[in-house]
Amino acid sequence: MNWAKRILNNNKVDKVFYVVERDKGDIANSHVHMLLETNKTLSYSEARKALGNISVGDYQFINNPKAVTNYVTKWVDSDCEYNFLL
């Protein structure tokens, strides 16, 4: 994924984990969940710019790491693409 490599080039981003899932309503389409480990706060606009101004529907800081990790990885055993980049 080129966008994952682009955001990793931002000096605030140390690690990227992403999962590409099929949409429930239309399995021909997909969406991405992405977790970023940063060394400084990364704003929504900085993330969008680093991604190449692609659509970013939801952007949140993590308050409960276990809950968000469970949500993001729920389909990892199924037919989905995922990767962890350093």
* DSSP per-residue codes, 7-39: HHTSTTEEEEEEEEEE-SS-TT-EEEEEEEEES
pLDDT tier at 66, thresholds 50, 70, 90: very high
Tokens read off for 69: 């990790």
Structure confidence by residue, pLDDT tens digits, 37-56: 999 999 999 998 888 878 88
CB 44 within 8 A of CB 36: no
DSSP state of 82: E
CB 57 within 8 A of CB 4: no
Helices (H), 1-86: 2-8, 44-51, 65-72
pLDDT surpassing 70 at residue 1 = no
